[in-house]
Every structure is written in C-alpha cells, then in structure tokens.
Chain A
Amino acid sequence: MADAPIFIDPEKCRGCKKCITACPFDALYMEGKLAVVKPDECRACNACVKACPFKAIVSTAAETPKADLSAFKGIWVFAEQHQGKVQEVAYELLATGRRLAKDRGCELAAVVLGHNVKDSAAHLIAAGADKVYMVDQPELAAYEADVYTDALNQLIAKYKPEVVLAGATAVGRAFFAKVAVRARTGLTADCTALSIDKESYLLHQTRPAFGGNIMATIMTPNHRPQMATVRPKVFRMAPPDPKRKGETLIEALKLVAGNTRIIKTERSSSSVNIAEAEIIVAGGRGLKKAENLEQLKRLADLLGGVVGVSRACVDAGWISAAYQVGQTGKTVCPKLYLAFGISGAIQHLEGMRGADTIIAINTDPHAAIFNVADLGIVGDLFEILPMLIEAIEAKHNGAK
C-alpha cells in the first residue's frame, strides 16, 4: 500500500507534462525530463493514466475483487418526517430519484421511520415512490441516531437496495454516517448533482470540496449500497400525482431502545426557516454594522420576505447563524434574492445561485456576485436601500 497506485515507465515517459496538468491532486512533478509521483498525494483517480499520450503510466492499484453486487437493486429515498409531516427534501429527492430510477431501469422506494406516520405513504407514492417501506413503532417516535441507524440497517440488510439517498439535514447527515459505516460502505455528503453513469450504471455523486473552490465527482464502485446526502432545495420538487399507484410494506422490527432521551425541545417561534422563503433580502459585510440590518428587515417586511446574510455578518456577531446563506449556512432557492453589500464568495454563491431572480447592489464593479446577478447595480447600498424602501412604500400607499 505504501507504494504509489501508479507506475510511470521511465522508458516511455517523454517529459511532455500532460500528466502534471491532468492530475487533480498535485501528485505529480517533473524530475528532469521524467514525471514522478508523490505516493502520499496520489488518489488513484487515473486521470494521468488516461492523459498520457505515450502509455507510460499504468495503474498498479490492486483491483478490489468484485464482491457480488448484483443482489443489490432499487433506489431508496429516506423520507424524514417530523410529527408525521414528511420534510420537503424527501419530495425533492423523490423527483430526482424518479430520473435516476429511469436511467438505471429500477424501482424507486421511500423509507419512513417513525410512529403514527402511516398517512405519509400516500403522499410519497404521489411524489414518485413505487414502494414505501414503513417502520411505524413507538421506539421511533422521536429521532435518535442509534435507533434510527438500527432500523435502517435492518431494512438495508433485508432488502439490499443499490442506492440510498437522504436529505443533508441535521438528522440525515448524522445518522446516515452511522448507517454507512455499519454497512461498511461509502457515503458522499452534500451532493449538488446526482446521475447514473451510462456505461457502468454507477451513481455519480458530485459535491463541492475545499470550501466550494472545487467540485468533485465521487463514485462507490465496489460497495453497496451507494449512499449520498443532498441538501434541501438543491433539487426541485415535482407536482404530486395523486393517481400514481404504489405499494406500502409495513415492517415490524425488533429495535433496542436507545439510551438517550430528549428532555426538552425549544422551537423559538421567531426562528424563520430561510430555506423555505420565497423572497430573501440579504446583506453582507457591506452593511458595516448590525444596526443597518434593520433597514434590510424593513425592506423584507415590505416585500413579504425574510432577511438572509453572508457568513461575514454571522462571524461579526450581528445575527444568528440561522440566517446564514451559503455552504456552511442554508441553501436557498427563493423566487427573488436581493444582495446588498455581499461580495459573492464562492461559498456564498453555493447557497443561493439557485434563486430564480438575483439582484445585487455592490460598490465594487468587479464583485463576483455580479456574475450570478440578473440585475447587477454598481452603487452604494446606503443610497439605494433607503430610496428603494421609499419607492415601495409609496407604491403600497398609492395602491390603498
């Protein structure tokens, strides 16, 4: 293992450097006229093998003996529910799951874990599930990582799905990581694109890495199921089709009660879920100080929207992290996103580029936010914001 997963034949290498350019990991360098690999950096992606015009590079990574993977069939979507209400991300995943199931030529199933959740089955079938696996037991009444893991792993062991997907929510992210380890398989977090490879029929899982500076496509070739989480709002829901037919299987499982319990839940009424908002009036460091968020709030109220912010505002302590848009905040896809004094760092764009219409106001003509804006205004927010508020107030008054 300590050897590099590739071998560069010094007889064949001509020093053309094509491999150096091809390597995504900076794992190759030139020593005189020969390419040399840094064994610790090489990830055996074989990009250099394909790039070398002289066939000087060969892969030496041991082919993992193919386990019998043919027993694994079907695509599953974990349908997270809170108090019986299925979370929207599950419907988004079912819409994507339909496309994947068609490309793979297989069945799409939803999995529900909970207590008194039987009503959800009809919604899941209308949203695209061919089958619903349901575990409806008191042990699952509240989310607990260990009990949920036990339940889902039992189902996976019994029915052997080929692909299992979940929303990258607080719940999905945590217990899916346990499920994947227990099943000794891979898990790709926070995917932004999923597709079935036309030749291998493997799931291509694409996600941002290194703070969104780079995108990586990941596969799980030799282990099953192939597992991934996807953030809410990355995919679109499809309109429900109440005429769809599907089958519901109620599974009775032997579950060991967990050893943690929830003694209190605090759901602050003021906490808005910006991920669900249709209109977001967002601000960044350009606002200069916390008090100026008031003006954003005023505009948001006038437009019937909510306030969102860049991480700079959260780091400055102006507002809670619940309002942060972006890679480490929320992914949003409102109809309208207004950005005041936001530079448009890649991590911020990651969370909002899905908005239908983006309007950006920034003093810096070169701000990256303009690259995604439908209307980009080079200007001072302290001039434009008050005037905009006034204009809209005037319209409201005029309409009365």
Chain B
Amino acid sequence: MHIVVCVKQVPDTTNVRINPETNTLMREGVESIINPFDEFALEEALKLKDAHGARVSVVSMGPPQAEVVLREAMARGADDVVLLTDRAFAGADTLATSYAISQAIKKINARPDLVLFGKQAIDGDTAQVGPGVSEFLGYPLVTYAKSIKVEGDTYTVETMMDEGVDVIEGKLPAVMTVVKEASTPRFATLSGWMQAKKADIPRWGAKDVNADLTMCGLDGSPTKVVKIFAPPVKTGGTRMDGREQPSAAVDAIVKLLQEKGVA
C-alpha cells in the first residue's frame, strides 16, 4: 500500500496579533508549527503502515523553511518526503493549491492507494484543499475520518458528521481528511530524528511537476483578497464589580434573566 500525506506548515495562530495602527498581521516572533490536523492524518498513515506495511510519502507546499515539517514527519516514520516550492506557487488560493499538490502527488505515484489530509489548516480554516485534490486526482472523497481501517482493497472509516458518526465503506483508492478525534499522534523517536536531520529534502518547482503556470499561484487563483481589516469590536454594556458583594451581582443577573423572560 502506498499512502501520501499532505502536511502544511502554519503560523501558530494563537499568537498572531494585529498591529492596531496599520491593521497588518504582526508575524515577527510567531512560531511556525505543523498544522495540528495534519499530525492526525500522518498518524493514521503510520498506523496503517504498522498494521499492514505501507510506504508513507509526505508532501508539503510552502517556502523553503517549510522543510522543517517534512523532517519532523520523517522522524516520526515517513519513508520519503518532498517539498513543493516555487515562486510560481506564491499567492495560491485553494484551487491553485489543490492543483499544485495534485501534480506533485501524480509525480510521486500515478496511482497511490490513499491520500490523506488534515481536516483543515488553522491559518486559512477552509478545509477545501483535500476535497480539491480528490477532484484533480479523480479519487472518491471521504471527509472527517476519525478512524481508518483497511482490509485488502476495502476501507471502513468512521466519519464525524454534524449530528453523529457515520461508518463508510468503500474501495481504494481514495482521498480522506482526518479530524482531531482520531488517534493521538506519536512522538518522533531519537533515532528517527538523527536520520531525519541528515536527510536531503528534495525540492520540486512548477516545472518539475509539469504544472501549467496559468493554473498556479496568484494567476491560477480565482479568488482575490480585496480588503483586510480588524474584526469589529462591540463595546460592552453594564459592568459591575462582584468581588466585594457577590450577592448584589447575583441579584443583577437574576433581574436581567427575568427581564429576558428566562427565569
């Protein structure tokens, strides 16, 4: 079995701040991490490898620094990795990203058995790239997987839907996206790290993956960002200090609840 996992490097958005004067993102000092959802996707791939034996390839698209996440993936047990990096990919929206990644996957293997994604990337939160790649590869799509089992060429997947869990069965190949309710990601081993540190990370550009430049980067992106602004802040209503006299605070709450007809 050959599994390809797509992993993105993202800023740790918990710490992203806005410069109130210029309304721009302050990225200095913001750490880059593996997109948390992608760690769960990688873990599902490694578990399948443990159970059945599999080749696990990992792809990331991003600037040269994104190499770090690929080393981390290797340290955890990925067999081979590749970094898609090219100025031509800059400014890609989800359509152009899905296209570039699918070109890379096709070059790794014309027909991998399983292609895994995180449910969404925490910087964009779109959850569109996995489904987009399934279109470009012509593979069936299964989203929100929390467990993946494979027997022969048949998979059984538990998926998290809005109102509960669906169990889905189908035949490989497939594209799947993985949620955080899946198994806890393993740590890298020390020997894994030693190896990963030394590894040469191959870099592919648009030409290497035979990409049509009109479908890459900014040019290949139908969506255009036209404005960026800070979210509006609502100013609060009544404020009171309930530290000295909590009972007065409780009275105020009860009064408001009564006014609103809920108590």
Contact = CB atoms under 8 A, between A and B. Distances in A.
Contact of B125 (A26, A263, A328, A361): A328
Interface stretch (B41-49, B70-78, B195-203, B210-218): B210-218
A5 interface: yes
B234 A213 contact: no
A373 B236 contact: yes
B110 interface: no
A379 interface: yes
A128 B22 CA distance: 41
For the residues of A in contact with B, the DSSP-based class is: mixed
Contacts of A377: 239-242, 249, 252-253
Nearest to A222: B222
B143 A261 contact: no
Interface stretch (B1-9, B50-58, B185-193, B255-263): B255-263
Contacts of A301: none
B33 interface: no
Given A215-B229, A219-B226, A263 B221 contact: no
Interface string A213-245: 111111111110000000000000000000000
Contacts of B122: 211, 328
| Interface size band for A | 35 or more
B263 A213 contact: no
Interface residues of B, number: 97
A360 to B, nearest CB: 8
B128 A187 contact: yes
Contacts of B246: 379-380, 383-384, 387
Most A-side CB within 10 Å, residue of B11, B88, B236: B236
Interface string B168-207: 1111001001001100000000000000000000000000
A188 to B, nearest CB: 6
B230 A45 contact: no
Interface stretch (A100-108, A172-180, A247-255): A172-180
Contacts of B221: 186
B222 A388 contact: no
B17 interface: yes
A159 interface: no
Contact of A177 (B11, B94, B164, B230): B94
A214 B213 contact: no
B180 A321 contact: yes
Most chain A CB within a 10 A radius of its CB, from B25, B168, B228: B228
Contacts of A365: 241
B118 to A, nearest CB: 12
A135 to B, nearest CB: 19
A248 to B, nearest CB: 27
Contacts of B132: 177-178, 180-181
Q: Which 7 A-B pairs have the closest CB atoms?
A: A379-B242, A211-B13, A24-B228, A186-B222, A260-B170, A177-B131, A186-B223
